[in-house]
A and B are shown apart, each in its own frame.
Chain A
Amino acid sequence: MLEEIFRYQFLQHAILSAIFASIACGIIGTIITEKNLIMMSGGIAHTAFGGIGMGYFIGIEPIFGALVFSIVAALGVNKIHKKTHTGEDILVGMFWSLGMALGILFIWLTPGYPPELSSYLFGDILTVSKMDLYMMIIVNVMIVGIVGGYFQQFKAYLFDEEFAAVIGMKTSYLEKIVFILIALTIVILIRVVGIILIIALLTVPTAIAKEFSYDLKKIMILSSLVGILFCLFGLFISYLLQIPSGASIVISLVISYLIICIIKNKIKKGKLSI
């Protein structure tokens, strides 16, 4: 495969995007896991489908449509939740299916069946374009810069919003930033694993990292590394066996999580019996 990596640009793109996607995932995945925003992120991802449909319909790059829809969904759910007493998960459910419904409608309105539609739903890391890569780099720089630069503040906010507000932190800004970063991450992940599989990529690396550390920063770094490892592994398998890359990445992630859990349990039991 090494030789082919040097020969084919699409493989280089695939490898780079696996790395960038994993870094974003490691950091944002940790944030959504600790802040209980997993379902919210699923909702944002599915709302993005409406944007993809709209992109096809009005003839712009679908991923830009997805960008607009996911940011609007993220901030919208948050705002409506605050203004009314509607539970967050009800709103997420509503946005989730509304986004899908709009996507279906737009695609139905667009003449012909869009050829790469399934790559948005299920991801196709082998077709990542230069533009996609640039977008990933920009989002990664933003995430690493903002979360890294304000790490202590984010830690305080993620842990206990009320206390953060009491000591004079601008929690409403932090909250908006978190939601926008989630939306951006989801958009760059759509190309890699697709709307339907995003949640696995956001949660499993963090779940694995949490088995090994109680430190927020370490969990973020470790889950980025775990993500890189398994994205590359999944990519390799998909290339080797000619199977869809999104599926092979997610399946290898989940299987390894289960294996790690089983091994950890065995070790614990072993220790107890001694």
Chain B
Amino acid sequence: MTHVLELENVDVFYDQVHALSDICLKVEEKDFLAIIGPNGGGKSTLLKTILGLLKPTSGKIMLYGKSIQKSLGNIGYVPQFSKFNRKFPISVREVVHLGFLKNKNSPFAKYKELDIKKADDIMKQLDIFHLKDRQIGQLSGGQLQRVLIGRALAVEPKLLLLDEPTASLDASAKTQIHEVLKGLNKEMTIVMVTHDMSAVSTYVKNIACLNQKLFYHGQPLLTESILGQVYGCPIDMIAHGVSHRVLHKHKEN
């Protein structure tokens, strides 16, 4: 069986910095994978490498058994930090519509009626429909974040990569986004970088612990020793509010 995503012995360097070392990871269809790990652990780097924005120095990445260049347009991406100019003359609705441009290299590209309707539905789902005509500079951080999620959904991807999508959202918005993702997960595979342990415990199917190396990949049952290895410190900093399912009781002999 071909996996949605397959990484084999992937190494990534930024000049001297060895950001990812020997990563092997297989993601199955309809998985909801959370990537956790400390700051600087290489989570964003991993997503960018999967997207082809960074070139691995060695190793192989396959999407549906093909190289990334051939599967662009199948992936939706919500970046952790977006580099665009917030003053750019573009409205919320137009940003969401950009997702429909996937693999469109023909001139005079027009959006179909159906696409426009879909975009409206996506905006309603994310609670940003009333903002649709706003210029994107006139949004709050959390609202902008939802617009970017909307844009990624408009791609209608088979694989959705999200880099800390709920970092700037309030508690109810977080739950709302996680619920939306849970619904989407019926149709697509989701890989999400997050520091939100309560989301990990309630929503995701598998987790991957990343700190330069991949320390753990499997069900969200973590032992203290794995967490200690990944975070390199006692886990009580992340143990707050973590349900028992995530933080597996360390068995004492």
Binding site for B on A (CB under 8 A): 34, 36, 149-150, 152-153, 155-156, 158-170, 210, 213-216, 219
A215 touching B89, Cβ below 8 Å: yes
**Known: A152-B109, A153-B105, A167-B155. Contact between A159 and B53, CB under 8 A?**
no
Which of B79, B101, B108 has most A Cβ within 10 Å? B101
- Interface size in chain B (residues, C-beta < 8 A): 32
B95 touching A159, Cβ below 8 Å: yes
> Which one, B91, B102, B108, B110, contacts A214 given CB within 8 A?
B91
The 8 closest A-B pairs by CB, nearest first: A168-B72, A149-B107, A168-B73, A167-B102, A160-B84, A214-B135, A168-B103, A152-B109
Complex Cα spacing A156 to B52, Å: 18
Residues of A close to B75: CB separation below 8 A:
166
**Known: A156-B101, A166-B75. Contact between A219 and B89, CB under 8 A?**
yes
Least Cβ distance of A157 to chain B in Å?
10
Residues of A close to B103: CB separation below 8 A:
167-168
Complex Cα spacing A155 to B79, Å: 19
> Which one, B88, B95, B108, contacts A149 given CB within 8 A?
B108
A153 touching B89, Cβ below 8 Å: no
**Known: A159-B84, A214-B91. Contact between A166 and B77, CB under 8 A?**
yes
B122 within 8 A of A: no
**Known: A155-B94, A156-B98. Contact between A216 and B82, CB under 8 A?**
no
Residues of B close to A156: CB separation below 8 A:
98, 101
B83 touching A160, Cβ below 8 Å: yes
Chief secondary structure at chain A's binding surface: helix
For B94, the closest partner residue in chain A by CB is: A155
Complex Cα spacing A194 to B99, Å: 41
B89 touching A152, Cβ below 8 Å: no
B151 within 8 A of A: yes
B51 within 8 A of A: yes
Complex Cα spacing A36 to B83, Å: 13
For A145, the closest partner residue in chain B by CB is: B107
B90 touching A155, Cβ below 8 Å: yes
Residues of B close to A34: CB separation below 8 A:
85, 88-89
Residues of A close to B88: CB separation below 8 A:
34, 158-159, 216
A166 touching B72, Cβ below 8 Å: yes
Least Cβ distance of B4 to chain A in Å?
16
Residues of A close to B73: CB separation below 8 A:
167-168
- Over the window 144-166 of chain B, the binary record of Cβ atoms lying under 8 Å from chain A Cβ atoms (1 yes, 0 no) is 00000001000100000000000
**Known: A36-B85, A159-B95, A160-B83. Contact between A169 and B53, CB under 8 A?**
no
B130 within 8 A of A: no
> Which one, B84, B104, B135, contacts A153 given CB within 8 A?
B104
Residues of A close to B72: CB separation below 8 A:
165-168
- Over the window 195-217 of chain B, the binary record of Cβ atoms lying under 8 Å from chain A Cβ atoms (1 yes, 0 no) is 00000000000000000000000
B155 touching A150, Cβ below 8 Å: no
- Over the window 99-122 of chain B, the binary record of Cβ atoms lying under 8 Å from chain A Cβ atoms (1 yes, 0 no) is 101111101111000000000000
> Which one, B91, B105, B135, contacts A170 given CB within 8 A?
B105
Which of B73, B89, B91, B108 has most A Cβ within 10 Å? B89
Least Cβ distance of A35 to chain B in Å?
8
> Which one, A149, A161, A169, contacts B101 given CB within 8 A?
A169
Complex Cα spacing A33 to B181, Å: 37
Residue contacts A-B, CB under 8 angstroms, 23 given: A34-B85, A34-B88, A150-B107, A150-B109, A152-B109, A155-B90, A159-B85, A159-B88, A159-B95, A162-B79, A162-B82, A163-B79, A164-B98, A165-B52, A165-B53, A166-B53, A167-B155, A168-B102, A168-B103, A215-B89, A215-B91, A216-B88, A219-B89
B89 touching A216, Cβ below 8 Å: yes
Residues of B close to A155: CB separation below 8 A:
90, 94, 98
Residues of B close to A216: CB separation below 8 A:
88-90
Least Cβ distance of B122 to chain A in Å?
15
Complex Cα spacing A162 to B151, Å: 13
B101 touching A153, Cβ below 8 Å: yes
Complex Cα spacing A75 to B88, Å: 24
Residues of B close to A153: CB separation below 8 A:
101, 104-105, 109
Least Cβ distance of B79 to chain A in Å?
7
Complex Cα spacing A210 to B108, Å: 25
Least Cβ distance of A138 to chain B in Å?
19
Complex Cα spacing A159 to B82, Å: 11
Q: Among residues 47 to 82 in chain B, which have CB atoms less than 8 Å away from a CB atom of chain A?
A: 51-53, 72-73, 75, 77, 79, 82
B82 touching A160, Cβ below 8 Å: yes
Besides A158-B88, A159-B95, 7 other A-B contacts (C-beta < 8 A): A34-B88, A149-B108, A152-B110, A153-B101, A153-B109, A168-B73, A210-B89
